[in-house]
């Protein structure tokens, strides 16, 4: 259960990071 939650949170963090990266590239 905990591992699954950690995995989901990791995926969410990666998604947010990718989103921020894309936004940063757009601004640059």
pLDDT digits (tens, 9 = 90+) for 8-23: 788 888 877 778 777 7
And the tokens for 26? 């757009």
The span from the CA of 9 to the CA of 14, in Å, is 9
- Token pair, residue 7, equals 């995995």
At residue 27, the pLDDT reads 64
Q: Residue 13 phi/psi, 5° resolution?
A: -60, -45
pLDDT of residue 19: 80
The pair of structure tokens assigned to 24 is: 């940063």
């Amino acid at each position: 259960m905990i591992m699954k939650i950690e995995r989901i949170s990791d995926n969410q963090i990666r998604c947010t990071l990718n989103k921020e990266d894309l936004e940063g590239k757009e601004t640059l």
